[in-house]
Structure 1
């Protein structure tokens, strides 16, 4: 079974490499044409190509290009009305001769729609009637009987992803834009949520410069942040993390001789409460820390902990 799985991967990778080699200026033309259109993108296909089409439409929509999937069967029964003349239409048919897809073309021509096709034949009826043809011709299907669409649907899917990403980068689509389209997901929450919404403001572990080692240890334990803050909310002198504590003990095991000044970091990172969680967590990952102080200059209003979610 493992050998079969590996063979499928190898065959599909081989086909994708072949399709990648077929990409030419037509791809650029298709992207530029979609960008020039003010309407949405309609993706059409049947069977397995239809399933791939749904995913392509979803990816386009979530990356800044409004799109929807239309089944040609529904189109024949009144749904052609959703296609405006300023819409671009992507037709997916590996053979390029799928009857249901061919029947849609006369309307698209009459409606002056931009037609982009994904087929495995540059001489097919669908490709010949397209403004831009993207060749997804594969070397072979992964199915040993060459019956079940496997490599061909993967090629169509990846070509759709390539279109979506090219459009996304052309539109300068950013993380914040992606988050607006995904407000219900963890990524959306992280990209749209600000530090002030999640920071801890109560019972902060504050100690004075004169605190004893025991005071530091008790305050750190009670605070449950893995750190203590030296000073008060109006002016902080520094912080002591559990790592600072361990390093101080390694240097001097006589705790009676350890002072706060010996252990604390005097230039801790302080972030503004209006910053986005995504930006702050990126900084924390870079600095390899789990807590940051929140405030301005030496005044603090809270602490943000990266694992508090």
Structure 2
């Protein structure tokens, strides 16, 4: 077996091992899991998640997922906790402790301190019979038969299982909260995901010039308007309403068909009944329309009045396509 074949074989075996372990987790989700989720849902405090080593890395990811889906959460490193960071935990907080073995020295020191404070303790562990498993109020069982590591040492399958249990916990809470796409947008206002959920056409048209001409506007003035506004298009407007559109492509096609440009006005070359979008529509609707008709600009209107142009470059700049 050459290097390439060996690499592919090891990678596939790793994925298969972890995939099988994740599939087996479904059977471990039980009434105790549901009770833990219900307790967090009905509590007035935050979720404090702690761990040591690779489990601490998984804890930070679960914290991020919970925070982004409506459950306030804070990461507390297990080693730091026993050296002053226990002050992070408030009376109403729920503590989740992540540990594969449930028997590490730091966990054995930390767990009694948490219990003494009276906080509910939830364990994510592969070993129900461990020190952590025995002391926890709820155990979320993240058992794995073996690590993907050929020496069965490096945390691989076990950390993947912890992460999946954390995702299951977060999604169960999301469902109980009725957390909607609008809620998601409020928690992700700066990212492309959030923008897809809250950005409107009006947010984009307001950034652009507003190219427009009258049906009787002379060709030269049409060209000047399109050039100066730098959007490759001009709306043909009569009584504040859109009656047509002229693109730079229309101009090029017109030049190839006509020998004389004398006397040509906007109405002679405009496309009637152009594709339009409501200025209050979501920006993602503009993307769908552009994609459907193979165009790069859309004229926006509100109550029949021309409001401006949304260009595909606006959507690209915002990172939503």
The DSSP-based 3-state class of the residue aligned with 2:313 is: coil
> 1:272-294 deviations in whole A, cap 9, x for unaligned?
3xx4xxx6222123322543333
Greater Cα shift, 135-144 or 279-288: 279-288
Cα deviation, residue 212, structure 1: 8.0
> 1:86-141 deviations in whole A, cap 9, x for unaligned?
11111111112222112222222232222211111222221222222111111321
Among candidates 241, 265, 273, match of residue 266 of structure 1: 273
The DSSP-based 3-state class of the residue aligned with 2:90 is: coil
Q: Is the 8 A contact 2:213 2:235 kept in 1?
A: yes
The DSSP-based 3-state class of the residue aligned with 1:284 is: helix
Distance 2:185 2:153 in 1: 40
Among candidates 104, 108, 114, match of residue 114 of structure 2: 108
* 2:165 corresponds to 1:159: yes
Distance 1:21 1:217 in 2: 68
The DSSP-based 3-state class of the residue aligned with 2:25 is: helix
Among candidates 141, 149, 158, match of residue 135 of structure 1: 141
- Residue matched to 2:150: 144
135 and 241 in structure 1: CA distance in 2 versus 1, 3 angstrom threshold:
farther
> 1:206-254 deviations in whole A, cap 9, x for unaligned?
23335688987776566543443121572222335678x59xx7xxx96
- Residue matched to 2:61: 55
Structure 1: runs of 5 or more not aligned: none
- Residue matched to 2:287: 285
What is the Cα-based RMSD across aligned positions, in Å? 3.3
Among candidates 70, 75, 78, match of residue 76 of structure 2: 70
Cα deviation, residue 175, structure 1: 4.0
Cα deviation, residue 21, structure 1: 2.9
Q: Is the 8 A contact 1:271 1:292 kept in 2?
A: no
The DSSP-based 3-state class of the residue aligned with 2:282 is: helix
Q: Is the 8 A contact 1:205 1:229 kept in 2?
A: yes
167 and 291 in structure 1: CA distance in 2 versus 1, 3 angstrom threshold:
farther
Distance 2:75 2:30 in 1: 26
Distance 1:134 1:165 in 2: 15
The DSSP-based 3-state class of the residue aligned with 1:104 is: helix
Greater Cα shift, 284-293 or 124-133: 284-293
Q: Which aligned pairs between 1:61-100 and structure 2 lie closer than 5 A?
A: 61-100=67-106
Distance 1:52 1:76 in 2: 20
| TM-score, scaled to structure 1 | 0.81
The DSSP-based 3-state class of the residue aligned with 1:94 is: coil
Q: Is the 8 A contact 2:233 2:246 kept in 1?
A: yes
Among candidates 245, 252, 277, match of residue 239 of structure 1: 245
Greater Cα shift, 162-171 or 263-272: 263-272
133 and 265 in structure 1: CA distance in 2 versus 1, 3 angstrom threshold:
farther
122 and 27 in structure 1: CA distance in 2 versus 1, 3 angstrom threshold:
same
Distance 1:286 1:188 in 2: 17
Q: Is the 8 A contact 1:63 1:173 kept in 2?
A: yes
Distance 1:135 1:286 in 2: 44
Q: Is the 8 A contact 1:201 1:301 kept in 2?
A: no
| TM-score, scaled to structure 2 | 0.79
Structure 2: runs of 5 or more not aligned: 1-6
